[in-house]
């Protein structure tokens, strides 16, 4: 899957926030609305969408494979979380998603992949229309 292009600097803060929200929803949906580390479902826990490689990297900010659905505990709240113990989290994700996933992220981070992911763009555009956010 080819990733999303970097967003334009001309986007407003509101547009960026909308895209972040839609990306987050899609990450959770793709994970089946459960924590990818412990498997606890939405409703039993609060779910968060985490950027494996930080969202400051604009070429990865809305690229769905860079998103990981985590419960609050595995995102930030426990010693065994993505933010408190990044090395542990990297190991967990390598076990869960595999070496090819990490390799693809690193290649994308370095700008090897180019182009537009029309499937993701169409999804986000439709969500914007659905919510009347035009």
Residue located via tokens 């009347």:
132
Q: Is 3 helix (H, G, I), strand (E, B) or coil?
A: coil
Cα→Cα distances 51→8, 25, 58, 62, 74, Å: 19, 13, 11, 9, 13
- pLDDT over 90, % of the chain: 59
Local confidence band at 69 (pLDDT 50, 70, 90 cut-offs): very high
Each residue's pLDDT tens digit, 15-61 = 889 999 999 999 999 999 999 999 999 999 999 999 999 998 888 99
Range of the domain at 82: 13-123
Q: What value, to the nearest 5°, has the Cα angle with vertex 62 and ends 124 and 16?
A: 75
What's the number of domains the chain is made of? 1
pLDDT at 107: 86
Please count the other Cβ atoms lying within 10 Å of the Cβ belonging to residue 35.
25
Residue 8 placed within a domain: no
Determine the straight-line distance between the first and last CA of the chain, rounded to whole angstroms. Answer: 27
pTM as predicted: 0.76
Residue at 33 is within a domain: yes
For residue 80, give every residue at least 6 positions away whose Cβ sits within 8 Å of its Cβ, in sequence order, or none. Answer: 73, 74, 88
Position 5 pLDDT exceeds 70: no
Whether residue 100 is predicted with pLDDT greater than 80 in this model: the reply is yes
């Amino acid at each position: 899957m080819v990733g999303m292009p970097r967003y334009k600097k001309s986007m407003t803060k509101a547009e960026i926030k909308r895209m972040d929200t839609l990306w987050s929803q899609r990450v959770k949906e793709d994970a089946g609305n459960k924590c990818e580390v412990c498997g606890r479902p939405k409703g039993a826990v609060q779910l968060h969408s985490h950027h494996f490689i930080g969202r400051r990297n604009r070429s990865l900010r809305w690229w769905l494979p860079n998103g990981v659905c985590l419960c609050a505990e595995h995102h930030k709240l426990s010693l065994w979380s993505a933010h408190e113990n990044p090395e542990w989290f990297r190991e967990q994700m390598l076990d869960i998603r595999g070496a090819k996933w990490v390799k693809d992220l690193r290649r994308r981070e370095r700008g090897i992949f180019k182009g537009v992911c029309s499937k993701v763009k169409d999804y986000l555009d439709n969500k914007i229309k659905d919510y009347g956010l035009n």
